[in-house]
Amino acid sequence: MNILKDIREGNDGSIVLGNHPGIVQSILDFDYISGKKEPSVMALVAGTRKAQKFFFGTQEFLLPCFKSVAAVPKSYDTRAKWMLNVQSGRRTLESTNAFFERFPAALGGHIFAENVPELHALELVERFGRTHVIAGPSGVGILVPGYLKLGAIGGVGLEQLEQGKLADPGAIAVVATSGGMTNELITSVVRAGKRVSFSLCIGGDRFPVTSLTDVLTMAEEDDATEGIVYFGELGGSDEYEIVALLKSGKLTKPIVCYVAGVIDEAFDEHMQFGHAKALVARADESARAKRDALAEAGAIAPETFTAFLKEIEKLPNSVARDTLVDIKSLMNRQKSILSTREVVDIEAVPAFVEGGKLVQQRENGFAASALEAMLGRDVSDKTAALVENIFELLLDHGGNVSGAVNTMITARAGKDMVSSLASGLLTVGPRFGGAVNEAARTWREGVASGKAAPNFVEEKTRGGNLLLGIGHLKYRVGIPDPRVAALAEFASILKKHPHYDFARAIESVTTGKNGNLILNVDGVVAALLLDMLQEEEGYSDAELQELIEAEFFNALFIIPRSVGFIAHFLEQKRNDEGLFRLPEELLFVRKDEKKTKKEMSRQREGLHGVISFRDGGL
- Catalytic residue set: 275
Q: Which residues contact 447 (CB under 8 A, 6 or more apart)?
A: 498, 499, 502
Residue 83 CA to residue 102 CA, distance in Å, equals 11
Q: Give the side-chain half-sphere CA count within 13 A for 436.
A: 24
Q: Which residues contact 64 (CB under 8 A, 6 or more apart)?
A: 42, 43, 44, 50, 51
Helix (H) or strand (E) holding 229: strand 227-233
CB 204 within 8 A of CB 277: yes
Task: Return the axis-axis angle of helices 498-510 and 521-536, rounded to nearest 10°.
Answer: 160
Q: Which of 134, 70, 126, 131 is nearest to 103 (CA)?
A: 70
Residue 269 CA to residue 586 CA, distance in Å, equals 96
Q: What per-residue string of b and e applies to 333-365 under the rule 16 or more CB within 10 Å gives b?
A: eeeeeeeeeeeeeeeeeeeeeeeeeeeeeeebe
Give the pairing of strands 41-45 and 196-201. Answer: unpaired
Q: What angle do CA 345, 347, 351 make, to 5 degrees?
A: 100
Residue 256 CA to residue 246 CA, distance in Å, equals 12
Give the pairing of strands 255-260 and 227-233. Answer: parallel
- Ordered alpha helix ranges (H), 204-362: 212-221, 238-248, 287-297, 305-313
Residue 436 CA to residue 154 CA, distance in Å, equals 53
3-state secondary structure of 300: strand
CA dihedral (542, 543, 546, 547) positive or negative: negative
Residue 72 CA to residue 98 CA, distance in Å, equals 12
Q: What is the DSSP letter of 249?
A: T
CA dihedral (608, 614, 615, 618) positive or negative: positive
Read off φ and ψ for residue 243, nearest 5 degrees: -55, -45
Q: How many CB atoms lie within 10 A of CB 159?
A: 10
